[in-house]
Chains A and B, each alone.
Chain A
């Protein structure tokens, strides 16, 4: 049973860097698939942020690319998201998910990150 769990601060100050980690259980991220981050502002729709392959190959949303870094720690079976220079517009529930060819088949429960001073 593949399970994903997001963790990280629930409150980030404007202009600082948002950092989240996704811990995967029941499947080794070394075994394949891409691993992605998706966010959902309160009351709004889903937005793909970016994805990483276990080899380190990454691809990001063009609208967020300048501020996003996704990395993986295969020894801990985790992958992480860093989003720099955050503003209130980055307030959202952040989900991690397993991805295959653009399809996200397993999701974490999500974690709310609020950007506020």
Chain B
């Protein structure tokens, strides 16, 4: 069981805006930065969003992150077929003194 909770699946149609959720606690999301990773089929994870909604070079601005209390969200606007992937949230946990991941959400583009 993952420390951060993500719905196992989500879907959307091309052009749509979808939001993926990540729920945690005061020791992780509530007090630390949330990072989002995209894992395309058969590939290594790729950092999508890091501290304070920062996107690494090359990540389209269609991807954005937000946080409220002990929950975080990843929004994808103008959904494209190449966005079909697994998405993971992660954060530092002050109680565990380490990095914790969510179980991942598999996004399907219909």
Contacts and interface: CB of A to CB of B under 8 A. Distances in A.
B47 A105 contact: yes
A108 B44 contact: yes
Interface size classification for chain B:
20 to 34
A33 interface: no
B97 A102 contact: no
Contacts of A62: 96-98
A110 B44 contact: yes
Contacts of B50: 103, 105
Contacts of B96: 61-62
Interface residues of A, number: 23
B13 interface: no
Interface in B40-86: 44-47, 50-51, 56
A104 B98 contact: no
Interface in B20-55: 32-33, 35, 37, 44-47, 50-51
A99 B90 CA distance: 12
A45 B92 contact: no
B45 A104 contact: yes
Interface of A: 36, 38, 45-48, 50-51, 59-62, 95, 99, 101-105, 107-110
